[in-house]
Amino acid sequence: LTLPTVRATQFFPPLQCTACPVSSPVNLIDNLDGTLTGSYVSLVRGEYTVITSLSSESGLTATYYDNSSQVGSSYDLGAGDPVASQSVSNIDWSSTSSLPLRSLSMASGFGVRWTGFIRPSLAQTYTFEFSLGQSQQERVKLWVDNLLIIDQWTSLVSNSPRALRAFETAEQLYDISALYKCPNVSSCAYSLKWESQYYSVGDSVSKFPVPSNRLLQRFDVPNAFGGLNVYGGRVCSGLSIAYGDGLTLAIAGQTASFTIVA
């Protein structure tokens, strides 16, 4: 699925969920009849919003603003008037000989919003780095798995802000979103890099711009029903069991523990 460059307001509304918690994976089974069946386990009762999305390989969706002052600072970018949106292979504008989009203005600066999925190859803690140019007027925000991990929007502390994010499962899709703006084009640049070096060399990722085969576009699908209500499950004492040293042995002044399987 290839997304052409078109007017952003035609198909790119704000995200449906502006303050989602960390995503929960869903196991999908292809029914081989044009449908998929998903299954998941809810651990905490409450009211939830289910976001169903399709993904497209190789890249993210980038939405451009031709005036940096119009770029909103919120997750769903409620402010501003985007001029265009297109698919991009990665977040990397380290060569500033030309603008990332031809129709942008050199005089008034520009802003960009990226959305999609990121797919780590390893179940490890990654270091994300947003390498910027030499302008002290650049601003950037980065969300990974619906968590704001880099926030240099009101002021710029570093031209290479870094943050850690742990991924529990390799090859799983996690939400990623970023905002960037620059009022002085001549000294601006950006590149999103990552690395993981917690295991042997063969099981690590060297610091490098996040490649396109690890980024995917996101297309939300309308759900047939509204919110999801998760209720507390009923348990049966006759089928439950408690075990552990804390049931038979304890030391004064120290915490004793046991486990209940309901």
pLDDT confidence of residue 6 = 33
**What's the CA gap between 259 and 81, in Å, rounded?**
55
Taking only the tens place, the pLDDT of each residue in 67-126 is 666 665 444 444 557 788 889 999 998 766 677 887 776 667 788 889 999 999 999 899
pLDDT band at 8 (very low <50, low <70, confident <90, very high): very low
CATH T-level fold of 8-221? Jelly Rolls (2.60.120)
pTM (2 d.p.): 0.74
Tokens standing for residue 15: 């995200």
**What's the CA gap between 119 and 176, in Å, rounded?**
10
Taking only the tens place, the pLDDT of each residue in 187-209 is 788 999 999 876 544 566 778 89
User: What percent of the chain has a predicted confidence (pLDDT) above 70?
Assistant: 76
Taking only the tens place, the pLDDT of each residue in 112-158 is 889 999 999 999 899 999 999 887 888 899 999 888 999 998 888 89
| Position 61 pLDDT exceeds 70 | yes
Instruction: Give the angle subtended at the CA of 113 by the CAs of 178 and 183, to the nearest 5°.
Output: 100
112, 134 Cβ separation under 8 angstroms: no
Query: Would you kindly state where each structural domain of the chain is located, as residue ranges?
Result: 8-221, 234-261
Contacts 24+ apart (CB under 8 A), 206-209: 207/127, 207/129, 209/90, 209/91, 209/92, 209/94
**What's the CA gap between 163 and 178, in Å, rounded?**
13
Lowest mean pLDDT segment, chosen from 13-17, 53-57, 73-77, 241-245: 13-17
| Position 10 pLDDT exceeds 50 | no
